[in-house]
Amino acid sequence: MTNKDNTVEDLEQFIAPPAAENLNLEARNLDFYYGTHQTLFNVSLPVERNKITALIGPSGCGKSTLLRILNRIYALYPQQYAVGRVLLDGKDILTDHDTLTRLKERGDNVTLDPLGDDISQIRARIGMVFQKPTPFPMSIYDNVAYGVRLHFNKSRQELDHIVERSLHRAALWDEVKDKLKESGLSLSGGQQQRLCVARGLAVEPEVLLLDEPASALDPVSTARLEETLMELKKDLSIVIVTHNLQQAARISDYTGFMYLGNMIEFCSTDRLFARPKTRRARDYLTGRFG
């Protein structure tokens, strides 16, 4: 990042990320490869606790790829690998053998502080909601209880309580409370997406990652989902990929603008939308390309 055209104030605002003690999750200097094809280049992203962080940028710039690294979901796919660090509450979560080898090869001289290598625990702490609603072919109740049954040993009564609370938090309870035994697939698209949010919340994650969660929703469902996210950030940290700039402006506290696999700008949403620092971000925000 060059700074010769910027005032000190500009630079300070750009480089003043959330304070270290407020970080819930942090990506540092990530490179990412699909086979031999590198798609992320030295990308860093701070995620502040109890805030919403939006990722924006033109199609193919690497937003979803970055999100998929943050809870190590990419590791389910062969030939995909990340080099760099992801810290959850200051502890490294990319600690598999391949990543360590590649960090060394890249010349990073760091001592990792591993969180532990239980991937299912990491994914329980960092939940993910995908672009298309993905309810499981089972009842509404079982959809929400699914992860809890997988990770914890709860009584039926506790499970009932968790399901109800999660559906409340996802703003879906009133619509489904009388039909918990019906299939999750019987709900509308917007309800299915909130069911997926409820399923993610049931395991009490600290961070929720959302990949264009409203792209298949009508404006009313989108507004409901946005309200839900604004409410949820009181309890957890949220990272959302969105193509909808108004949505990013409405709900996020911080925004990262990506282009061709690079994090071009990262700062407070107000600042980015009011005074983008780079021409690329300005052009994107004013609809000149995208």
Ligand X SMILES: Nc1ncnc2c1ncn2[C@@H]1O[C@H](COP(=O)(O)OP(=O)(O)OP(=O)(O)O)[C@@H](O)[C@H]1O
Min. distance of Cβ 149 from ligand X in angstroms? Answer: 30
Q: Which residues contact 5 (CB under 8 A, 6 or more apart)?
A: none
**Annotation: binding site:** 57-64
Among residues 115 and 263, whose Cβ is nearest to ligand X? Answer: 263
Min. distance of Cβ 25 from ligand X in angstroms? Answer: 18
Q: Which amino acid is at 53?
A: T
Rg (CA), the chain: 19
Reported in sequence order, the residue ranges of 6-64 that DSSP labels E, i.e. its strands, are 23-34, 37-48, 52-56
Min. distance of Cβ 65 from ligand X in angstroms? Answer: 3
Cβ(117)–Cβ(79) under 8 Å?
no
Q: By C-alpha distance, which of 260, 264, 203, 197 is closest to 232?
A: 197
Among residues 17 and 57, whose Cβ is nearest to ligand X? Answer: 57
User: Cβ-count burial of 127 within 10 angstroms (0-12 exposed, 13-18 middle, 19+ buried)?
Assistant: buried
CA distance 197 to 228: 9
Based on the shown chain and the rule CB under 6 A, indicate whether residue 39 belongs to the binding site for ligand X.
Answer: yes
Binding part of the chain for ligand X, among 5-13, 34-42, 90-98, 282-290 by CB under 6 A, reads: 34-42
- By CB under 6 A, how many residues form the interface with ligand X? 11
Min. distance of Cβ 131 from ligand X in angstroms? Answer: 8
Min. distance of Cβ 290 from ligand X in angstroms? Answer: 10
Based on the shown chain and the rule CB under 6 A, indicate whether residue 15 belongs to the binding site for ligand X.
Answer: no
Among residues 37 and 181, whose Cβ is nearest to ligand X? Answer: 37
Min. distance of Cβ 103 from ligand X in angstroms? Answer: 21
- Tally Cβ neighbours within 10 Å of residue 136: 14
Q: Give the footprint of ligand X on residues 59-88 (CB under 6 A).
A: 59-65
Q: Give the footprint of ligand X on residues 43-62 (CB under 6 A).
A: 57, 59-62
Among residues 141 and 259, whose Cβ is nearest to ligand X? Answer: 259
Among residues 36 and 155, whose Cβ is nearest to ligand X? Answer: 36
What DSSP line would sit under 87-124, residue for residue?
EETTEE---SHHHHHHHHHHT------B--S-HHHHHH
Among residues 34 and 231, whose Cβ is nearest to ligand X? Answer: 34
What 8-state DSSP symbol labels residue 69? H
**Annotation: binding site for ATP:** 57-64
Q: By C-alpha distance, which of 100, 75, 44, 35 is closest to 55?
A: 44
Binding interface with ligand X (CB under 6 A): 34, 37, 39, 57, 59-65
